[in-house]
Chains A and B, each alone.
Chain A
Amino acid sequence: MQTLTLAAILLLLSSFAFRLGRKRAFAVSAHEPRSLHSLPGYYGSWVALWCGLPAFAVLVAWLVLEPTVVRELVISDLPAAMQALPSDNIDVLINEVRNAAQGHATTNPDLAAAADHYTHLRQIGFAAVAVVSVAIALAGAAFAYRRIEPALRARPRVEASINVFLVASSTVAIFTTIGIVLSLLFESLRFFHMVNFFDFLFGLSWSPQMATRSDQVGSSGAFGMIPLFTGTMLISLISMVVALPLGLFSAIYMSEYAQPRIRAVAKPALEILAGIPTVVFGFFAVITVAPLIRTAGAMFGLSVASESALAAGFVMGITLIPLISSLSDDVITAVPQSLREGAFGLGATRSETIRQVVLPAALPGIVGGVLLAVSRAIGETMIVVMAAGLSAKLTFNPLEAVTTVTVQIVTLLVGDTEFDSPKTLAAFALGLMLFAITLGLNVVALHIVQKYREKYD
C-alpha cells in the first residue's frame, strides 16, 4: 500500500516534470517552437524520463533487496543461541517473526522482540527509500530542466529510451524461454545419469515405479519412451484424420462457396469451438464419445476399451478443426483473385478452379497450418488425460487404451513428489523430447509458410 502511494507520487512528479519541461522549451525558444530541435512535447518527455526513471530504479532495487537486507539485520539481532542454529531452522524462525509482525501473537519473547525490530526496520527502510527516491526524482527533473536549450536533441533521446524499453520487453520473453529450456535440459541430464539415454529413447517398456525399499518386488522401473511415443503418435494421427478433412473442407466452403451472409454467421460459430476449454472436450470424450464407440464396436463384435485411443483422438480432432479451418481459410483467401479469374476465364468450373489452381497455390500455407495443428495435437494434455487411459501398452490398435507422453508427465508429477528420483526426473526428460518434437515441427511449419509468402508479395 505504502509502495503504491510512493509510486503514484513519483508518477505525479513525472507528469508535473513533463509540463514544466514543455513550458520551459517554449520559453527558451522565445515562443517560436520552430527554432527548437524537437517538438516541445519531447522536451517535456525528456524531463519526465529524467524525473521518473532513476527514482523508479531506486524503488525497484529496494523492493528486490529489502527481504534479504531486513532478514540479515533481524538475524544479527537475535540471541546468539538462535543464530547458531542451522539455516533451515533459522528460516522457520524468520517465518515466525514475519507472522508475528503481521499480528499473529508469538509465545517466544525473543521472537516478539525480533518482530518489533522487523517492523521497525521495514518502516525505517521504507521511509529512507521514499525520501531518497523523491529526492532523486526532483534532482533528475532539475538537472534535465536546466539543460533544456533549442539545440538539445530531445526527440532522439526520448525515442532511444523507448527503444531500450521495447528491447527489454522482448528480452524478458526470450530469457524466459531460454530459462525453461535450460531447466528442462539440466533436469533431464540428471535423469540420464540414472537411466541410460538410449534405454530411454528406444526402450519398449514403460513402468516408472521405483522401489522405496530394496527388497520390494519389481524394484526396478523401466523407462522406455517408445510406448508413450507411439501412443502420442497414434492419437495425433487419429485426430488429424478427423481434423484435416473437416477443417480443410469447411475452410474451402467458407472461403469459396459461402454467401457473405452465411460466412458472417458460420465463421464466428466455428471460432467459438476454439474457445471451448479442452477440459470440457475431455468429459465430452469420456461421457459421450467413448461409450458411443464401445456400443458401435460391440455391434460389429469388436471389443473396445472404455478408454480408447479412438475416442481421445476423435475428440481431439474436433478441437483442432477450428485451428486448421481458420489457418487454411486465411491462406486460401490470400490466393490472389486474379488466379481464380484466370481459371474461370478459361472456362474452368468452380470446383476445377479450386482443385487445380487455388489449392495448389495455397498448399504450402495449408501444410504449414497442418503442421502447427500436429504439434498442438502432440502437446495436448487435458483430453488425453481424461479419455486416453494410463496403460503404457505398445500397440497400434486404436480400439485399445494407450497413454501419451503428456499424460505420463501429468501422472509422474501429480501428488507428493521428491525431485531426485528417476520417476519424477523422467517427466523432465519426456518434456524435453516433447519440446524437441514440437519445436522441430514448428520450425518446419514456419519455414514452409514463409516460403509461401515470398511468392506473392
Chain B
Amino acid sequence: MNMNAVLPQGSSKISAKALDVHYSEKQALFGVDLDIRAGEVTALIGPSGCGKSTFLRCINRMNDLVDGARVSGSLTLDGTDIYDRIIDVVQLRARVGMVFQKPNPFPKSIYDNVAYGPRIHGLAQDQAELDEIVMTSLEKAGLLNEVKDRLQESGTSLSGGQQQRLCIARAIAVEPEVILMDEPCSALDPIATAKVEELIDELRENFTIVIVTHSMQQAARVSQRTAFFHLGKLIEVGDTEQIFTNPQQPLTQGYITGRFG
C-alpha cells in the first residue's frame, strides 16, 4: 500500500541538486545538494534563518504560496522533478504530508479533521472505509485511546500535544510517502514532546520523515541522519551519531557545542 515498501530502506527518496531559493531579492538557499533516504528520519538543524524551513517547504512546494519565491536547481521525489510542469501540486502534497510548528487543527470535529484529506482526495469508497481510515490514522498517531469516545467534539478542544498528534493523524490519513515536520514540538511541553518523538520513531517504519528542529537533543533522539544548514548553505550532512560526535566542519562543531546559534 505504501511506496516506501517498494523502495529499499536507505535508498534516496528525495534528492536536491544545486537548489537555490530566492524570496524576491533575497536569496535564502545557495546550491543545496542533499539526499533524503527512504524510511529514515532526517533532521535539519541550524540557527534561525539558515534556510532549513525553506528547504523543507520546497519539498511540498509550500513556497509556491509565498509571493516572490523562486526555486531553481533540481529537486526530485522518486526521480521525478517536483517543480516539473507535469507535477500537480495537489497530488504532490498528497504524497508529501506536512505537520506544522503550531498545531493547526481545523475548527471541525476530531473525526472531520482526520477525514478531511481522504475526503478531498477521494480515498474512501464509502462511509465504512472512511471510518476505517480515520480510526487507523488516529491509532497510528497514538491518539485513538484518548479521543475514541469524543470523535464529534471540536479538534480545537484538545490539549496542545493532542492537537499536534491530531495534525499528525490528519497528515497520515492521506497515506503520504513523506512527512515533513516543521519544528513540530516547539509549542509543546516536555511530556507532550516525548510522546510526539516516540510517535515519530514509530512512523519511520512506514514513512520517510524530514524534521526541522531547534533542539539538538531532539535531533539526536529521533533522527538517523542530520543535515546542518548555515546562512542558506548546507554545511554538513551525515549519520546523526557522526554529526554529533565527530563533526567534520568547524561550523557544525561550533553549533552543536553551543558556541553560536
| A contact residues vs B (CB 8 Å cutoff) | 260, 336, 338-339, 341-349, 352, 356-357, 360-361, 455
What are 23 A-B contacts defined by CB distance under 8 Å?
A: A339-B106, A339-B107, A341-B100, A342-B105, A342-B106, A342-B167, A342-B170, A343-B106, A345-B98, A345-B171, A346-B116, A346-B171, A347-B91, A347-B92, A347-B94, A347-B117, A347-B174, A356-B120, A357-B106, A360-B106, A360-B108, A361-B107, A455-B156
Interface size class of B (residues with CB under 8 A): 20 to 34
Other-chain residue from A260, A344, A455 in contact with B107 (beta carbon distance below 8 A): A455
Cβ of B221 within 8 Å of any chain A Cβ, yes or no, is no
Given the complex of chains A and B, what is the CA–CA distance between A250 and B90 in angstroms?
A: 25
Other-chain residue from A348, A356, A360 in contact with B90 (beta carbon distance below 8 A): A348
CB distance B120 to A346 under 8 Å? yes
Known: A345-B171, A346-B116, A347-B121. A338 touches B62 (CB 8 A): no
Q: Which chain B residues in 102-141 approach chain A with CB under 8 Å?
A: 102, 104-108, 116-117, 120-121
Given the complex of chains A and B, what is the CA–CA distance between A345 and B100 in angstroms?
A: 9
Cβ of B189 within 8 Å of any chain A Cβ, yes or no, is no
Residue from A341, A344, A347, A361 having most chain B Cβ neighbours under 10 A: A347
CB distance A344 to B116 under 8 Å? no
Q: How far is the CB of A457 from chain B (nearest CB, A)?
A: 12
Given the complex of chains A and B, what is the CA–CA distance between A342 and B91 in angstroms?
A: 15
Given the complex of chains A and B, what is the CA–CA distance between A352 and B121 in angstroms?
A: 11
Q: What 7 pairs between A and B have smallest CB-CB spacing?
A: A345-B98, A347-B93, A347-B94, A338-B104, A346-B117, A342-B104, A347-B90
Given the complex of chains A and B, what is the CA–CA distance between A344 and B63 in angstroms?
A: 11
Other-chain residue from A260, A344, A360, A455 in contact with B65 (beta carbon distance below 8 A): A344
Q: How far is the CB of B60 from chain A (nearest CB, A)?
A: 7
CB distance B104 to A341 under 8 Å? yes
Q: How far is the CB of A383 from chain B (nearest CB, A)?
A: 38
Instruction: Determine chain A's interface SS by DSSP, over half rule.
Output: helix
Nearest residue in B to A363 (C-beta to C-beta)?
Answer: B107
Residues of the A chain whose Cβ atoms lie less than 8 Å from the Cβ of B149: none
Residue from B92, B93, B97 having most chain A Cβ neighbours under 10 A: B93
Residues of the B chain whose Cβ atoms lie less than 8 Å from the Cβ of A349: 90, 120
Residues of the B chain whose Cβ atoms lie less than 8 Å from the Cβ of A360: 106-108
Cβ of B25 within 8 Å of any chain A Cβ, yes or no, is no
Other-chain residue from B62, B105, B108 in contact with A345 (beta carbon distance below 8 A): B62
Residues of the B chain whose Cβ atoms lie less than 8 Å from the Cβ of A338: 100, 102, 104
Q: How far is the CB of A264 from chain B (nearest CB, A)?
A: 13
CB distance A346 to B67 under 8 Å? no
CB distance B171 to A352 under 8 Å? no
Q: What does the 1/0 interface line of B169-190 toward A look like (CB < 8 Å)?
A: 0110010000000000000000
Q: What does the 1/0 interface line of B66-78 toward A look like (CB < 8 Å)?
A: 0100000000000
Residues of the A chain whose Cβ atoms lie less than 8 Å from the Cβ of B60: 345
Q: How far is the CB of B101 from chain A (nearest CB, A)?
A: 8
Other-chain residue from A336, A345, A361 in contact with B93 (beta carbon distance below 8 A): A345
Residues of the B chain whose Cβ atoms lie less than 8 Å from the Cβ of A342: 100, 104-106, 167, 170
Known: A346-B97, A346-B117, A347-B117. A341 touches B174 (CB 8 A): no
Known: A260-B67, A348-B90, A349-B90. A343 touches B116 (CB 8 A): yes
Given the complex of chains A and B, what is the CA–CA distance between A348 and B121 in angstroms?
A: 8
Residues of the A chain whose Cβ atoms lie less than 8 Å from the Cβ of B171: 345-346
Residues of the B chain whose Cβ atoms lie less than 8 Å from the Cβ of A260: 67
Other-chain residue from A341, A348, A356 in contact with B62 (beta carbon distance below 8 A): A341
Given the complex of chains A and B, what is the CA–CA distance between A356 and B91 in angstroms?
A: 18
Given the complex of chains A and B, what is the CA–CA distance between A338 and B170 in angstroms?
A: 14
* Known pairs A341-B98, A341-B100 / 8 extra A-B pairs, C-beta < 8 Å: A260-B67, A339-B104, A342-B167, A346-B170, A347-B117, A349-B120, A356-B120, A360-B106
Residue from A338, A344, A345 having most chain B Cβ neighbours under 10 A: A345
Given the complex of chains A and B, what is the CA–CA distance between A349 and B119 in angstroms?
A: 13
Given the complex of chains A and B, what is the CA–CA distance between A347 and B107 in angstroms?
A: 18
Q: How far is the CB of A356 from chain B (nearest CB, A)?
A: 7
Other-chain residue from B93, B108, B156 in contact with A346 (beta carbon distance below 8 A): B93
Q: How far is the CB of A283 from chain B (nearest CB, A)?
A: 43
Nearest residue in A to B119 (C-beta to C-beta)?
Answer: A356
Given the complex of chains A and B, what is the CA–CA distance between A356 and B121 in angstroms?
A: 14
Residues of the A chain whose Cβ atoms lie less than 8 Å from the Cβ of B67: 260
Given the complex of chains A and B, what is the CA–CA distance between A346 and B94 in angstroms?
A: 6
CB distance A336 to B90 under 8 Å? no
Residues of the B chain whose Cβ atoms lie less than 8 Å from the Cβ of A361: 106-107
Given the complex of chains A and B, what is the CA–CA distance between A361 and B106 in angstroms?
A: 8
Residues of the A chain whose Cβ atoms lie less than 8 Å from the Cβ of B105: 342
Nearest residue in B to A339 (C-beta to C-beta)?
Answer: B104
Given the complex of chains A and B, what is the CA–CA distance between A407 and B213 in angstroms?
A: 66
Q: How far is the CB of B169 from chain A (nearest CB, A)?
A: 12
CB distance A347 to B120 under 8 Å? yes
Residues of the A chain whose Cβ atoms lie less than 8 Å from the Cβ of B117: 346-347
Q: How far is the CB of A448 from chain B (nearest CB, A)?
A: 15
Nearest residue in B to A452 (C-beta to C-beta)?
Answer: B107
Given the complex of chains A and B, what is the CA–CA distance between A404 and B243 in angstroms?
A: 79
Given the complex of chains A and B, what is the CA–CA distance between A260 and B98 in angstroms?
A: 27
Q: How far is the CB of B68 from chain A (nearest CB, A)?
A: 10
Residue from A344, A360, A361 having most chain B Cβ neighbours under 10 A: A344
CB distance B108 to A336 under 8 Å? no
